[in-house]
Structure 1
Amino acid sequence: MNENSTDQFFKSNVLGHPSGLFVLFFTEMWERFSYYGMRALLVLFLTASLFDEGWGWPREHAMALFGSYVGLVYLSTMMGGYFADKVIGFRWAVLVGALLMTLGHASMAVETEWSIYLGLGLLVIGNGFFKPNMTSIISEMYKDRPEKKDGAYTIFYMGVNAGAFIGIILCGYLGEQIGWSLGFGLAGVFMLFGLIQFWLAQNIFGNIGLKPKKNDANSIESLDKDKRVPFTSWQLGLILLMVTLGLLWIINAPATTISEGRVNIFSFLGDNGNNMAILTALGLFLVLLIYRFTQYSKITREKLIAVSFFALLSVVFWAIFEQSPGTLTIFANDYTDRSLDGSSATIFRIVNSCMVIIPLAIITWVLYLLFKQTFGKYKWANIVLSLSFIIVWGIAIWMLINQFKDDNLEIPASWFASLNSLYIITLAPLFSKWWESKYNPSANMKYGIGMLLLGLGMACVAFGAMGIEPGAKTASVSIIWLILVYLFHTMGELCISPVGLSYVSKLVPARMIAFMFGVWYLAIAIGMKGAGVFGENVDKVANENGISYFFWILTIVSLVAAFFSIVMTPIIKKLMHGVR
């Protein structure tokens, strides 16, 4: 066997995949545990009254900060990916990212004003280093076994969602029921476990990710004979201006909202300075994009237009889907009847216990299989991983016992957000089978179905909220509407989220993939910030027309986007030149 062949990683395997995949699986699982655990609490903490040890912020202020935070999380992946590719390699990028995020969670647990902002900043930068480079290591590991790659990403995706699910339930419970610091702190503890485990087991990846590889004469980029269009000085200058305006806006916009206008670096542009700055940046971006499209060969240009079309739809999708940790969590907290008693409380306790114990038991079994393969060589990594599981089992059992103690039970508001991950784990195999069957829809139809399901989800909560009077601060809507929202939204996500990146890789010339992935993540970041902008206006709309009206607006936007995607099918199909 060629010593440079990645087949060497398959000598030690778990469930037919390299043991190294499961080291990444558990590292990513704890990272997602910490990210989603903290995220589930952030808006609740900011809007909780001072009596409940929160900051007592108006929802508008909380959503402004939250929108910028999640937007920056996705923008930072471009920076982290660049540093890993050019300077420090994937492996060091993951370690730096994990360390920064551990420090970020620890900072948030202090709960002072400066520590929360510092923590969010560290989490943004850490996520940028961590997020893009885990998947890069998997890609390298399976370089000579491409037929196994889909299965590897499926397993990895399960780790992502298992971590998110357990993190939201446990951090959410501790944060809401015991104290915010415990919720934020627990997220940091498990990020630290992920960091130590990865550090101790990193030799399992051989030479992968140690340092950047320079392109050689036989690389895909070199063999790609399509027309080159290098960036000129004026284009690079324009990019620098756009990036500067965009970053200043995403930080300044919430600062202006929270300070009620006292802090505004764009004040010289008038009362609408923030809007003018971001519209200028987006306008310049569109001008540059359209100009560059005109410089490519016809087929490349048309494929890039198709990618841009899907990126535009993604902006709309994420702006509405990401109401989950914002307005939907606020809806769960303030407008939903979460109190259960008698038989309904008993049923919830049993269902919730199964939801927590069964996934934990399955993941523990995978941990045992990894143990059998790697304990001899990576004893300390396995001991650290075992300790993390002993702690998480302890907290989970303690939580479930507590829920059985009281006659009256109140479901934590953050609990509903965990349904997304649970539904993904359950439904992903079904959707995967659908995409592999003869009934596999076209790209436009997948986006259309995804946006339609998104609209149906929002229609559920809009319908459920119809009895809430304008200006009402509390209500007692049935939990069934939120359960249905997350079901429809998850099915929509499965139609859109895994599909988008796949089309970028299929439609874009090899040498441009990094740049177009950057454009793609920019679209997601705009969508995330858009979610915050929608959320900032929830109180204005709710006070004038009722909160149901707010959700009906999002329903209509989703359905219009679904219709637009479907009617554009013949045009986009032609632009894709046979790519499916």
Structure 2
Amino acid sequence: MSQNSTDQFFKSNVLGHPSGLFVLFFTEMWERFSFYGMRSLLIMFFTASLADGGWEWSRETASALFGSYVGLVYLSTMLGGYFADKVIGFRWAVILGAFLMTLGHAAMAVETHFSIYLGLVLLVFGNGFFKPNMVSIISEMYKDRPEKKDGAYTLFYMGVNAGAFFGILLCGYLGEKVGWGYGFGLAGIFMFFGMIQFWLSQRIFGDIGLKPNKESKAKIAASDDDKRNPFSSWQLVVIAVSVVLGLLWVINAPVSKISGGKIDVFGFLGSNGNSTAILTALGLFIILLIYRFTQYSKITREKLMAVTFFAFIVIFFWAIFEQSPNSLTIFAKDYTNRVLEGSWSTTYLVVNSLMTILPLAIITWLMLKMFRQTFNSYAVANIILSLSFVIIWSIAIWILIKDYYTAGVLSLSDSTLDLLKIDKVATPLTEVPATWFSTLNSLFIISLAPLFSKWWESKYNPRATVKYGIGMLFLGLGMACVAIGASGIEPGAKTASVSMIWLILVYLFHTMGELCISPVGLSYVSKLVPARMIAFMFGVWYLAVAIGMKSAGIFGENIDKIADEHGLSYFFWLLTIISVSMALFSILMSPIIKKLMHGVR
């Protein structure tokens, strides 16, 4: 039996999957905790008044920087994927990425202008090394069990969203209620825990992800029947020009707004200089992509075309889905009635308690099941993981006690308040944090991911394009809900008191759409792409995500302009129409894409 055979990893299993998957599960969970915890605060921090510790930026400027940041996060995965493939291996890339992100969050906790910008730069590069290589390890672990990949990626995605849920819940709460630096700093603490746990448990992956050498490269080449097509000089020049133009555009978009137009790299091209630059970059990239397709064998070419189609749909999905930390957070903060009284206050406290305790209990149960399989071999790593759970349980319980006291449900003595570092309040009040609504996405994923995983493994598993169509329809349905909720808001209104139910419905439908698209998309890349291209193609996939993320920021930049002229509801109806149109396009393309996939499901 080969040392890297699938059977080796399935000898020690949890819920029918290798124990190594759950090492990755918890490592990714803490990384997503840090990423989403910080991200949930970013727009609010930038737009908060100086008196509240923010920078008092306009929504347009904040959205521009936010879109560029998340776009660069995913663009950097191409760099991380390349270095992992060619130089340092998947494992060292993950560790380096985690280290850079730990430093980034620590810098942001300082809250100076320099430290915030430095932190964002470190987080961009850290994510670039970390993100594509986690899924690459999973791809290798399941290379002989393709029928299990959809379920594995969906479970892994459950870990992603468990981290996002607790990150938004805890970092968001501390940032809004205690201080921005506390929210940013907590994100870094758990990123550090994730890095240590992965480092101490990495032997569980056998030879997967080690630094590439001549022998490993030869094995990959021998397993790949397709001819190799190295980039020629002119292709490298086209790539360089596209990359430089794209990066300058992404960076220049917020910088020109922050500087009030004093710094504008493309100013010499006129008022539409930014648009001219990015359209040129995209045009060159598309020409190169089409040419590259002609250089591969027919089957490989058609599979890569299928991946490109899915990537195209993904751009629109993320551009609309990522309104969550942007326009939907603005909607929650300024246009939603978040103050609760009487029975509604009690209901929220109970629901929030269950939302906090039950998912944490489920994830703790998964941790214990992994311990039974791995503790003897990886005791120190498991102890580190246990310590992180003790801390997160402590913070979660502290927040719940504080909420019950603030609402007047729980009485605490002055000495207890001092011990728990809780400020005394004169008037009981229950106000739902604006970031709280973003936790619903992760909560729904934790609840629904096992059901979708079983669906994908059953005989009723739909075609890839149908999954994408269903996902885009759910996305459109969610946007239609918030559009209906905003229908009574007059054009130009800066505040309103819309019922919270509309935001709850948005996140429910968007979650179901996400489960149809995001985790299975990663699975299709791993199934359709030749082994020697896997990490790089994950990088290309994240390029499409990056375009979607930056597009989300562009949508957010224009929300005030559209709302002032046509009303806020009009803005969300536009996003609904785009979602439904892409859903119909994906379903109509189903027969063509099925042929291009050559039997891959």
The match for 2:469 among 448, 469, 481 is 448
Q: Residue 277 of structure 1 aligns to which amino acid in structure 2?
A: A
SS at match of 2:461: coil
> What CA deviation, in whole Å up to 9, does each residue of 1:453-508 have, x standing for no partner?
11111111111011111111111000000001111111111111123233333444
* Counterpart residue number, 1:431: 452
The answer to whether the Cα contact below 8 Å between 1:342 and 1:408 also exists between their aligned partners in 2 is no
Listed one character per residue, the Cα deviations across residues 168-208 of structure 1 (whole Å, up to 9, x for unaligned) are 11111111111111111111111112222223333444444
CA contact (8 A) 1:97 1:125 kept: yes
Residues 193 and 388 in structure 1, CA contact (< 8 A), matched pair in contact too: yes
Asked if the contact 2:139/2:526 (under 8 Å) is kept, the reply is: no
Question: Equivalent of 2:505, from 484, 491, 496?
Answer: 484
Structure 2 counterpart of 1:43, which letter? I
Q: What's the counterpart of residue 499 of structure 1?
A: 520
Aligned to 2:590: 569
Residue equivalent to 1:50: 50
Q: Report the CA distance shift for 1:527/1:408 in structure 2 as closer, same or farther (over 3 A).
A: same
Please state how far the C-alpha of 1:299 moved relative to its aligned partner: 4.4
Q: 1:496 to 1:140 in 2, by over 3 A?
A: closer
Preserved contact between residue 39 and residue 325 of structure 1 (Cα < 8 Å): yes
Task: Name whichever of 6-15 and 31-40 sits farther off.
Answer: 6-15
Provide the C-alpha distance between the structure 1 equivalents of 2:471 and 2:362, rounded to a whole number of angstroms: 30
CA 1:298–1:152: 2 relative to 1, 3 Å: closer
Report the Cα offset of residue 9 of structure 1.
Answer: 4.9
Q: Which residue of 2 aligns with 1:31?
A: 31
Provide Cα deviations, 1:289-327, integer angstroms capped at 9, x if missing partner. 222334444444444333322221111111111111111
- C-alpha separation in 2, matches of 1:302 and 1:91: 31
Further displaced range: 222-231 or 541-550: 222-231
How far off its partner does 1:427 sit? 1.6
Question: Does structure 2 conserve the Cα–Cα contact (< 8 Å) formed by 1:245 and 1:278?
Answer: yes
Q: Which amino acid aligns with 1:293?
A: F
Judged with a 3 Å threshold, the aligned counterparts in structure 2 of structure 1 residues 546 and 368 are, in CA distance, closer, same or farther, namely: same
**C-alpha separation between the residues in 2 aligned to 1:569 and 1:207?**
38
Q: Determine helix, strand or coil for the equivalent of 2:325.
A: helix
Structure 2 counterpart of 1:111: 111
3-state SS of 1:441 partner: coil
Flag the 1:527–1:146 CA change in 2: closer, same or farther, 3 A.
closer
C-alpha contact 2:151 2:454 (8 A) present in aligned 1 = no
In structure 2, the CA distance between the partners of 1:244 and 1:485, relative to structure 1 (3 Å rule), is same
Q: Which moved more, 1:99-108 or 1:570-579?
A: 570-579
Equivalent of 2:560 in 522, 525, 539: 539
- Against the structure 1 CA distance between its residues 464 and 214, is the aligned structure 2 distance closer, same or farther, given a 3 Å change threshold? farther
Q: Is the contact made by 1:317 and 1:527 (CA closer than 8 Å) also made in structure 2?
A: yes
My pick for the range that moved more, 6-15 or 533-542, is 6-15
Retained in 2: the 8 A contact 1:200–1:380? yes
Aligned-residue offset at 1:218? 7.2
**1:260–1:497 Cα change, 3 Å:** same
CA distance in 1, matches of 2:530, 2:380: 43
Structure 1: gaps spanning 5 or more residues: none
Work out the CA distance in 1 between the residues paired with 2:583 and 2:9: 43
Q: 1:564 to 1:142 in 2, by over 3 A?
A: closer
Give 1:55's aligned amino acid: W
Contact preservation (8 Å) 2:151, 2:457: no
Q: Assess if the C-alpha contact under 8 Å between 2:3 and 2:206 holds in 1.
A: no
Tell me whether 1:366 sits opposite 2:387 in the alignment. Answer: no
Post-superposition shift, 1:574? 4.1
Report Cα offsets for 1:486-541 as digits up to 9, x if no partner: 11111111111123233333444444444443332211110110000111111111
* Partner deviation per Cα, 1:141-188 (whole Å, 9 max, x = no partner): 455666665554443322211111111111111111111111111111
Tell me the distance in 1 between the aligned counterparts of 2:540 and 2:324: 24
Distance in 2 separating the partners of 1:404 and 1:178: 16
Root-mean-square deviation over aligned CA pairs: 2.4
Deviation at 1:240, TM superposition (A): 1.0
TM-score, scaled relative to structure 2: 0.91
Q: Amino acid of the residue matched to residue 552 of structure 2?
A: A
1:517 pairs, out of 533, 538, 541, with 538
Q: Name the CA distance, whole Å, in 1 between partners of 2:9 and 2:523.
A: 25
Give the counterpart letter for 1:365 in structure 2. W
1:251 counterpart residue number:
251
- CA gap of 1:13–1:71, structure 2 versus 1, over 3 A, is same
Name the structure 2 match of 1:63. Answer: 63
Amino acid across the alignment from 1:478: S
Q: Taking structure 1 as reference, are residues 118 and 294 closer, same or farther at Cα in structure 2, changes over 3 Å only?
A: same
Alpha-carbon distance in 1 for matches of 2:527, 2:377: 39
Change (3 A) 1:300 1:134: closer
Which 10-residue stretch deviates more, 79-88 or 122-131?
79-88
1:137 is matched with which residue? 137
Structure 1 residues 507 and 202 mapped into 2: Cα distance closer, same or farther (>3 Å)? closer
1:7–1:145 CA contact under 8 A, matched in 2: no
2: CA distance between counterparts of 1:138 and 1:445?
A: 25
Alpha-carbon separation, structure 2, partners of 1:6 and 1:526:
35
Q: Who is 1:76 aligned against? A: 76
Mapped to 2, the partners of 1:433 and 1:17 lie a distance apart of 13
Is contact 1:302–1:576 with CA below 8 Å preserved after alignment?
A: yes
Aligned to 1:348: 348
Change (3 A) 1:420 1:201: same
Where does residue 162 of structure 1 map in the other structure?
Answer: 162
Shift of 1:15: 4.5
Q: Distance in 2 between matches of 1:200 and 1:512?
A: 28
Q: Relative to structure 2, which stretch is displaced further, 224-233 or 532-541?
A: 224-233
TM-score for the superposition, normalised by structure 1:
0.94
Partner SS state of residue 324, structure 1:
coil
* Aligned residue number for residue 471 of structure 1: 492
Contact 1:47–1:55 (CA under 8 A) maintained in structure 2: yes
Q: How far is 1:387 from its partner?
A: 2.0
Residue range with higher mean Cα deviation, 13-22 or 229-238: 13-22
263-272 vs 205-214, which moves further = 205-214
- Quote the residue 1:553 is aligned against: 574
Give the number of equivalent residue pairs. Answer: 580
- 2-side partners of 1:9 and 1:302: how far apart? 32
User: Relative to structure 1, is the Cα distance of residues 41 and 300 closer, same or farther in structure 2, using a 3 angstrom cutoff?
Assistant: same
In structure 2, the partner of 1:409 is: 430
What are the equivalent positions in structure 2 for 1:35-434 lying under 5 Å apart? 35-142=35-142, 150-214=150-214, 219=219, 221-226=221-226, 228-405=228-405, 406=407, 407-434=428-455
For residues 450 and 143 of structure 1, do their structure 2 counterparts lie closer, same or farther at Cα, with a shift above 3 Å needed? closer
Contact 1:171/1:183 (<8 A) preserved: yes
Partner Cα separation in structure 2 for residue 210 and residue 365 of structure 1: 31
**Aligned partners of 2:216 and 2:105: how far apart in 1?**
41
Q: Structure 1 vs Structure 2: percent identity of aligned residues?
A: 75
Deviation for aligned residue 1:352 = 1.0
- Using the TM superposition, name which of 433-442 and 417-426 deviates more: 433-442
Separation (CA, whole Å) in 2 of partners of 1:12 and 1:564: 43
SS across alignment from 2:326: helix
Separation of aligned partners in 2, 1:227 and 1:17: 34
Letter in 2 for 1:238: V
* Aligned counterparts of 2:11 and 2:592: Cα–Cα separation in 1: 48
Distance in 2 (alpha carbons) for counterparts of 1:18 and 1:531: 36
